[in-house]
C-alpha cells in the first residue's frame, strides 16, 4: 500500500487577488533548490488517522498555526514517489514571519557520523497561483487549479 500524506492549501485575497501559501522544505538537501521544491504544508499519516485530522496536525507541526473551521476538499494526487497526497483548502491570514516548524535529525554531512537538527520547513511565502504553479512540486499543481475553480464559483 502506498504511503499517504495530507495537507492544507491556505489561501487569502489581497486587493482582490487570490494568493496561496506554500512552504519550502528545510534541511541541506533542499537548501539550494527552489523551482519545483515548494509544497503545501503536508505530512504522512497511517490508516488509524483520518486525512483531515492529519492535514490539520501537519499544518500545525510545519507552521506553528492551528487551523480551525471547515476545510474544503481538493482531492488526491499521486506524486512521482507513489505517495498519495490528499489536500484541503482553507481561507485564512498567516504571517510568514511567524513560521515555527518542527525539526528533524539527519546525519550531516553524509557518512560523517554527526547528527544535526534542521527545520522541516525553512520558510513560507504567499504566491499568486501562476507563481505557485512554477514553484510547487509538479504533482501538487492540480490542487491550485481546483482551488481556483472553487473560488471562481464562489467569488469573494
**pLDDT tens digit string along 102-135?**
999 999 888 999 999 999 999 999 999 999 999 9
Q: Could you tell me the CA-to-CA distances from 44 to 6, 32, 35, 67 in Å, in that order?
A: 6, 24, 23, 18
Beta-strand ranges (E) seen in the chain are: 4-14, 17-25, 42-45, 72-78, 84-91, 103-107, 115-119, 121-127
pLDDT value at 153 more than 80 = no
pLDDT of residue 98 exceeding 60? yes
**SS3 at position 143:** helix
Q: Which domain holds residue 79?
A: 4-153
Whole-number pLDDT of residue 154: 64
Q: What is the pLDDT of residues 18-40, one digit of tens each?
A: 999 999 999 888 888 889 999 99
Q: Considering its fold, how many domains does the chain have in total?
A: 1
The yes-or-no verdict on residue 11 having pLDDT over 90 is: yes
Average the pLDDT over 68-74 and give the result: 96
pLDDT of residue 38: 97
The CATH number of residue 134's host domain is: 3.90.79.10
Amino acid at each position: 500500500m502506498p504511503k499517504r500524506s495530507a495537507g492544507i492549501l491556505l489561501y487569502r485575497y489581497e486587493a482582490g487577488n487570490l494568493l496561496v501559501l506554500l512552504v519550502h522544505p528545510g534541511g541541506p538537501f533542499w537548501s539550494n533548490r527552489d523551482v519545483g521544491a515548494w509544497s503545501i504544508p503536508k505530512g504522512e499519516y497511517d490508516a488509524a488517522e483520518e486525512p483531515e485530522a492529519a492535514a490539520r496536525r501537519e499544518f500545525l507541526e510545519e507552521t506553528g498555526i492551528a487551523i480551525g473551521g471547515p476545510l474544503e476538499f481538493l482531492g488526491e494526487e499521486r506524486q512521482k514517489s507513489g505517495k498519495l497526497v490528499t489536500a484541503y483548502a482553507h481561507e485564512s491570514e498567516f504571517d510568514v514571519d511567524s513560521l515555527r516548524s518542527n525539526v528533524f535529525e539527519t546525519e550531516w554531512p553524509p557518512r560523517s557520523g554527526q547528527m544535526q537538527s534542521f527545520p522541516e520547513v525553512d520558510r513560507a511565502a504567499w504566491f499568486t497561483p501562476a507563481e505557485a504553479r512554477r514553484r510547487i512540486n509538479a504533482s501538487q499543481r492540480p490542487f491550485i487549479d481546483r482551488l481556483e475553480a472553487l473560488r471562481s464559483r464562489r467569488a469573494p
